[in-house]
Amino acid sequence: MPVPSLYYRILTLLGFLCCFGASQVPAQEESKEEAQYREDYERVQKLVAIPETGKRAEQLLQFFKDRPNSRMNEYAQGQFFQILEGYAKAENKTELIAWSERYIKMRPRVGETYYFYGYGLKNAERITEAMDALAKCYVLKNPISSRAKDFLDFIYKARNKGSLAGEEAIIKKAQQELSK
């Protein structure tokens, strides 16, 4: 029986040394980029948890202003679009237009925002402005460009007795405005 006891003692000693040795290895320091990502991640998670829609939207806009090149911007932008979509579904054109305008001023090359803006403008019966916004969404080529074009076609046809003749001028105008 002395052999198993000795064997057990050696394994225990080795286990202790491994654990003790592992605790003495210095932790690898977090890079500046990793630390910034972690900080941004935590901040956005807190913002997303804000129950009041207007306050959440305001804080997301502030995040974009503070951290224009954050790796979390795409996620935060998706969260902002969910807010806009909520206003669209609730048919709250006033809030939809106001938040869309603020986001467009901050990030004018994000096409999806123009879709929400155009939707709100159409519901506010500001048809010419709505068509301009939808054309910009279409021109900026994004995941909902085709949806914006279909909506633009629908509005344009309704206004022009079922014809799309002349719609190209609206699209060309949007291209020129966005190329400035």
pLDDT digits (tens, 9 = 90+) for 67-119: 999 999 999 999 999 999 999 999 999 999 999 999 999 999 999 999 999 99
* CATH code assigned to 37-178: 1.25.40
Neighbours of 55 (CB within 10 A): 11
Tracing tokens 């909506």 back to the chain, one arrives at 151
Structure tokens at 106: 């901050």
pLDDT at 1 over 60: no
* pLDDT tens track for 119-136: 999 999 999 999 999 999
The pTM (predicted TM-score) of the whole model is 0.81
pLDDT > 70: percent of the chain: 84
Counting other chains too, the contacts that 74-77 makes at CB distance below 8 Å and 24 or more residues apart are 75/44, 76/44, 76/47, 77/110
Tracing tokens 């096409």 back to the chain, one arrives at 111
How far apart CA 131 and CA 171 sit, in angstroms, is 9
Report the first-to-last Cα separation within the chain, whole angstroms. Answer: 88
pLDDT > 90: percent of the chain: 82
Domain ranges of the chain: 37-178
How far apart CA 65 and CA 59 sit, in angstroms, is 10
How far apart CA 139 and CA 146 sit, in angstroms, is 10
Read off the DSSP letter of residue 125.
T
Is 6 strand, coil or helix? helix
pLDDT, the chain, mean: 89
